[in-house]
Amino acid sequence: MLKRVLPIVLSFCLAFSAKAQVNTDHMMRVGRNALFFNDYVLSIQYFSQVISAKPYMAEPYFYRGLAKYYLDDFTGAEADCSEAILRNPFVVDCYQMRGLARINQGKYADAVSDYRKALKHAPEDEGLWHNLALCYIHQKLYDDAIGVLDTIVHIVPSYVAALNMRAQVYIQKEDTMAALDDLEASLKINKYDSEVYATRALVYLQQKRYEEADKDLTYAILLNPKSSYYINRALTRYNMQELRGAMADYDLALSIDPNNLLGHYNRGLLRAQVGDDNRAIEDFDFVIDYEPDNTIAVFNRALLLVQTGDYAAAETDLDRVIDEYPNFLYGYQCRADVRRKQGRVREAEQDELVVLRAQMEEQNRLLAGNDNGADEKENDGADNTTRKESDKNIKKYKKLVVADDTVVEEGFSSAYRGKVQNRNVYVALQPLFALTYYNKVSEVGQIVHYHRYLESINRSRQLPLHLLVTASEQALDEEQIAYHFEDIDKQARRFDGGDEEAIHYFARGLDFYLVQDLSAAIDDFTAAIVADGSLWLSYYSRAVARYKQTELERADVAGKEAKVADTPNDFMVDARLTDYQLILADLNKAIDLAPDFAYSYYNRGNVLSQLKDYRAAVVSYDEAIALEPNLAEAYYNRGLTYIFLGENAKGVADLSKAGELGLYSAYNLIKRFAE
């Protein structure tokens, strides 16, 4: 649950020069900075201050709702978007955002209303049509969904998500030929979409075209090794009588997703088939721990406990099964056998008598021509090897479980993380390393990057917190936000023109950086440089702050260019190039002052790559790796830079090294660029 956001009015006033009137333009700008860089709690505080000062504005309500949405406060997001709509009912984004908030609360009909209103203002927005289709799918209004998806394909024929969804809806309607046509069309547009291969494999599986299903799932796994793909391939191989291959796939699926109950259940069945009783019991134990009411798993465990000689535990499980299914005759037979093995003959005979009476009643019904036992029979349809998760027929205890029929969605479309600054969300390179006090667990784990100067400055206690360098910056929580606003004022009181003034400017600059006030941070890092030109930390941090600010400015320009395509932008391009030259100058100075700090070279490589000076970027990454041979991000970025140069073999080798060092997303790129 989202923590209650506490206003820090005094800290805000101190942070912004104690002005009597809130500078709402500045707060909106910094709030959007925070939102752009995923500091949601911080952005909420900024937008709340704007709302307090100017409650008639729609924009801060929308952005605050967006921040709440990303914090999973969907009720709060809906309320804020409603307030924005009251103030300006003509903004499409407000309806789309409120629709997303309502979808996450299961309010699909209300979301449909929002998307219909938004489409009146933006009838060719494929994202709106996309979400509208998914709302209909969730309501099982498949014909309505197909109508919407037809519209998307007409508007944007290359929009593969619509083709994929329409294929899935056709599968629900059991029109497999139409589904296959859409999947084939999707693969012609993008042959690297693993989900399309996995979906087509499910169609083949339904048609018992097992070899084709296996081939598609194998390729899907090469593109994206998901647990669900291994589980579906295991089912395919089971149907091909490749029991060993199926077992191996369940092992791989569970190594990726250890809590997958379907994987444990099915692996337990296969282990039981090959006589691996003890390990099969472990799988059913796992399922029952998570789903104590899974009586079919309990029955399977009971049968295995009998095999291993644990009759008392088996009887306990059988008691549970019979309580749940009092007409399950085989359960009584099994319990009678267990009781006999424990020497309790009378109780065993009681169970056997129950079975005998039921069999006699069944024979009498058949002789009378009154077959009322039809509901007790299994009805598996064409497939006699599996049962659906929702199928609780205890007689199907030996069958592998498959997920219930659901549409494998492309996901609800939300470009808002980019729309905050109209940014281009495709960023290939790993991010810059920044100096900060906080480090979140990244893809490569909690790695502490050491440097002797950072160690010495931390020992000196000149800074309020422990300084570190990381490429995985952590968004601040409420307590941290309050601390840094307070420290901004504390550091200001220490400015005295003495020898230590530079470090106080640096410390306050870092505070401003952490609360996403990049302009103020750059000003303070500059002041620190003026006070002490040898403090290389200031050059390094100013470069990072300028880079982030340049990202924001580029996003704004991209948004304007998208709206006014014929607007001359040469001046804007020149301005961005100048910004990058300033960043490079700061990084070069940091390198001059601290030539053994690998992260300056790495950051310089990123900037050079942005400028498309790929050869120079490779040299900078080389220097970073020479200093830090296990810097996974440097291998990753150098690999991509080689690929930009057309040297795919070198690029794949570096990506492989990055994956070896823990950046597993590198593996998703290797298959594509290795071709």
pLDDT digits (tens, 9 = 90+) for 308-336: 999 999 999 999 999 999 999 999 999 99
pLDDT tens string 164-183: 889 989 988 889 999 999 99
Does residue 665 surpass a pLDDT of 80?
A: no
Contact 621, 598 (CB under 8 A): no
pLDDT at 391: 84
Domain limits, the chain: 416-674
Question: Which residue, chain included where needed, has tokens 């190594």?
Answer: 255
Mean of the per-residue pLDDT values of the chain: 84
401 or 101, higher pLDDT? 101
50: enclosing H helix or E strand? helix 40-53
Answer yes or no: is pLDDT of 389 > 60: yes
Residue holding tokens 């899935």? Answer: 168
Q: Are the beta carbons of 640 and 670 closer than 8 angstroms?
A: no
Cα–Cα nearest to 393, from 336, 332, 330, 350: 330
Structure tokens given for 605: 């490589």
pLDDT digits (tens, 9 = 90+) for 75-126: 889 999 999 999 999 989 999 999 999 998 889 999 999 999 999 988 888 8
* C-alpha span between 171 and 207 (Å, rounded): 12
Contacts of residue 483, defined as CB under 8 A and 6 or more positions apart, other chains included, come to none
Distance CA(653)–CA(675), nearest Å, equals 13
Indicate the range of 214-218, 322-326, 410-414, 419-423 predicted with least confidence.
419-423
Indicate the angle between helix axes 210-223 and 227-239, nearest 10 degrees: 160
Query: What pLDDT shows up at residue 108?
Result: 93
Q: Would you state the structure tokens that stand for residue 105, as one six-digit string?
A: 């609360």
Highest mean pLDDT among 29-43, 56-70, 645-659: 56-70
Say whether pLDDT at 418 is over 50: no
Q: What is the CATH number of domain 416-674?
A: 1.25.40.10
Q: In DSSP terms, which residues pair with 400 in a beta bridge? A: 386
How confident is the model over 256-273, as a mean pLDDT? 92
Are 80 and 96 spatial neighbours (Cβ–Cβ below 8 Å)?
no
Q: Within 13 Å of residue 608, how many CA atoms lie on the same side as its CB?
A: 21
Give me the pLDDT at residue 423, please.
Answer: 30
Question: Looking at the predicted structure, is the pLDDT value of residue 137 above 70?
Answer: yes
pLDDT of 266-301, one tens digit each?
999 999 998 999 999 999 999 999 999 999 999 999
Going by their DSSP bridges, the two strands 468-470 and 434-436 should be labelled as: antiparallel
Looking at the chain, the whole-number percentage of residues with pLDDT higher than 70 is: 85
Say if residue 265 is exposed, middle or buried (CB neighbours under 10 Å; 0-12, 13-18, 19+). Answer: buried
- Average pLDDT for 459-465: 91
Burial of 14 (0-12, 13-18, 19+ CB in 10 A): middle
Q: Residue 402: helix, strand or coil by DSSP? A: strand
Task: Give residue 499's pLDDT.
Answer: 63
Strand, coil or helix: what is 217? helix
Reported confidence tier of residue 372, pLDDT bands at 50, 70, 90: low
CA distance 451 to 616: 25
Phi-psi region of 334 (alpha: psi -120 to 50; beta: other; left: phi over 0): alpha
Tell me if 232 sits within 8 A of 217, measured CB to CB: yes
Q: Decide if 67 contacts 44 (C-beta within 8 A).
A: yes
Find the mean pLDDT for residues 140-150. 92
Q: What secondary structure letter does DSSP report for 401?
A: E
- 367 Cβ neighbours under 8 A, 6+ residues apart: none
Q: Which of 244-248, 549-553, 599-603, 650-654 has the largest mean confidence? A: 599-603
Query: How far is residue 623's CA from residue 605's CA, in Å, rounded to a whole number?
Result: 10
Comparing CA positions, the residue from 67, 15, 20, 17 lying closest to residue 40 is 67
Give the burial class of 165: count Cβ atoms within 10 A of its Cβ; 0-12 exposed, 13-18 middle, 19 or more buried.
buried
Give the pLDDT of residue 414: 53
Contact yes or no for 28/50 (Cβ under 8 A): yes
**Could you count the other beta carbons within 10 Å of the beta carbon of residue 81?**
30
* Residue 370 reports pLDDT greater than 50: yes
Sign of the CA dihedral with 420 first, then 422, 428, and 434 last: negative
Contacts with 28 (C-beta within 8 Å, 6 or more apart), sequence order: 46, 47, 50, 59, 60, 63
Lowest-confidence region among 227-231, 407-411, 481-485, 512-516:
407-411
Helix (H, G, I), strand (E, B) or coil at 89: coil
pLDDT above 90 covers a percentage of the chain that reads 53
8-state DSSP, 630: T
Cβ(15)–Cβ(485) below 8 Å: yes
| DSSP tag of 372 | G
CA dist., res. 220 & res. 198, Å (int):
6
Q: Which of 157-166, 403-412, 529-538 has the lowest mean pLDDT?
A: 403-412
Q: At what angle do helices 478-492 and 40-53 cross, to 10 degrees?
A: 70
Residue 444's nearest CA partner among 608, 631, 652, 594 is: 631
Residues 567, 536: contact at Cβ < 8 Å? no
pLDDT digits (tens, 9 = 90+) for 605-660: 999 998 999 999 999 999 999 999 999 999 999 999 999 898 988 988 898 888 87
The answer to which of 424-428, 575-579, 600-604, 650-654 has the lowest mean pLDDT is 424-428
Confidence of residue 388 (pLDDT cuts 50, 70, 90): confident
3-state secondary structure 428-497: CCCCCCEEECCCCCECCECCCCCCHHHHHHHHHCCCCCCCEEECCCCCCCHHHHHHHHHHHHHHHCCCCC
1-18: average pLDDT:
32
- What values do phi and psi take at 27, rounded to 5? -65, -40
DSSP β-ladder status, 386-388 and 400-402: parallel
Measuring CA to CA, which residue among 284, 144, 228, 253 is closest to residue 408? 228
pLDDT at position 439 over 80: yes
The values of phi and psi at residue 140, to 5°, are: 60, 30
Sign of the alpha-carbon dihedral angle for 52, 55, 57, 63: positive
What pTM did the predictor assign? 0.66
